[in-house]
Amino acid sequence: MALGSALLAGLLVGVERGWQDRDIPDGGRVAGLRTFALIGLLGGVLGLVGGASVLPLAVGLLAIALFFAVSYRHVVATAGTFSITTAVAALATYALGALAASGHTALAISAAVIVAMLLNLKPVLHRWLRAIRPAEVNAALQLGVLSAVILPLLPDQGFGPYDAINPHQLWLAVIAVAALSLAGHAAMRLRGDQQGLMWMGLLGGLASSTAATLALSRLAAAAPQRSQAASAAIVAASGVMFLRMAALVGLLQATPSLRLVLLLVLLAVAAFALAAWQWPSGSGAAPADSGAPSPEQQAHAYDLFTALGFGVVLGVVTLATRAAHEGLGLAGTYAVAFVSGLADVDAIVIASVQMDAPPGAVMTAVAILLAAFSSSLMKAGMCWAVAGRAVGSRVAFAYLALFAVGAVTIAIQGV
């Protein structure tokens, strides 16, 4: 069983390497199907023979490395390629054969599949690398620092007045929002601006519904014939905003309120329905590639200062919300929710779900709805100012319908 798994691991990698070099005449390739199968089997045999001693495995590894080192010099001289991928794959195959011999047969086969897949994805991975821009690499690395380096160091307990400032939870929220923004940016880069205004709204709403609203309003102002389609796309962006809010509630609330999440999802569905109703028939005649802002103009990969700024805003909103709730009761909480929603709807969502109110409390739902309402009010005003009355009135009507649905839902069944 162990030797069979070692042989199979070699065959899996060998099939991929052999297929890549299938046009090379026999004897012209360094290693193909049979060679890789034998390398995997050799790793398995030496692993069994050596037992507890690593000496046989070390000798075999050195021999394979020397063989490929000699072959590499010949390949560089004749073909002019400096790639060592096949040599590294051979060493990995040898190690997988030894892994199978140690009893981890399923793990060895799974790893062999992954190795073969990575080798086969070379064109795709290289195309992605060529498409990635320096700012996006920087943003991804910053996200890694935020999540893998800083987050584990932060204490998970409350500090300051009312114990309202929890560094671990605040930083987790920063990571969540930053990751959503980066995902939205990546989605827009991959889809491109050829998919029309609706894709621009949907993907832009994942990164920032406000940014998407501004971009679409400018587009409608530049091309009035697209105003109806732009209005629908703006409403759809707000639908994505509600889904993002629902995701934050589900991720950050200790025991998420199913009714609150469903309320936000209901608002998202209503927004998508209104967007579909407003979407003009035959809108495919007005694609987004003629004078439309590029995806890079719609959503930018966040930077470290943006993430830190959000953390500061979130901390202030959290403290203000807790203080207002303690000092003024519900009225204070609702006032803070409405004002903060003008600047950042995610901040009040996170602050509300992290308060001590019972999961599903009406206070949390009303605060979130007020923040979303004030955010939508600002975006409707933006549409009216930038794109004119036609777009502003359509968007305002859709938002009023949305929050009528939310208010009625809360009044009927609560959350």
Question: Strand, coil or helix: what is 223?
Answer: coil
pLDDT at 383 over 70: yes
Let me know: does 368 contact 352? Beta carbons within 8 Å.
yes
How many whole angstroms separate alpha carbon 230 and alpha carbon 312? Answer: 33
Mean pLDDT of 116-141: 83
| Torsion (CA) 240, 243, 249, 255 in degrees, nearest 10 | -170
Residue 397 φ/ψ, nearest 5 degrees? -60, -45
pTM: 0.54
Show me where the domains of the chain are located.
Answer: 2-127, 134-413
Name the residue with higher pLDDT: 102 or 78.
102
DSSP state letter for 262: H
113: confidence class by pLDDT, cuts 50, 70, 90: very high
How many whole angstroms separate alpha carbon 148 and alpha carbon 403? Answer: 39
How many whole angstroms separate alpha carbon 241 and alpha carbon 247? Answer: 10
DSSP state letter for 193: S
Pair of tokens at residue 345: 């709807």
Q: What is the pLDDT of residue 177?
A: 62
How many whole angstroms separate alpha carbon 117 and alpha carbon 272? Answer: 38
How many whole angstroms separate alpha carbon 236 and alpha carbon 213? Answer: 10
How many whole angstroms separate alpha carbon 341 and alpha carbon 255? Answer: 24
290: confidence class by pLDDT, cuts 50, 70, 90: very low
Give residue-wise pLDDT tens across range 148-189.
888 889 888 878 776 767 788 778 767 766 775 676 566 556
Pair of tokens at residue 164: 């309202």
Please identify which residue in the block is written with the tokens 């679409």.
216
pLDDT at 114 over 90: yes
Let me know: does 249 contact 361? Beta carbons within 8 Å.
no
Q: What is the pLDDT of residue 285?
A: 41
Question: Strand, coil or helix: what is 174?
Answer: helix
Residue 36 φ/ψ, nearest 5 degrees? -65, -35
Task: Tell me how crowded residue 113 is: count the other CB atoms within 10 A of its CB.
Answer: 13
Mean pLDDT of 398-404: 89
DSSP state letter for 307: H
Cite the DSSP H helix spans in 21-104. 33-50, 55-79, 85-101
Single-letter residue type at 314: L
Q: H or E stretch including 216?
A: helix 209-222
Give residue-wise pLDDT tens across range 330-355.
666 677 777 666 656 766 676 666 66
In terms of Cα–Cα distance, which of 82, 74, 93, 100 is closest to 35? 93
| Most distant CA atoms of the chain, gap in Å | 84
Burial of 15 (0-12, 13-18, 19+ CB in 10 A): middle
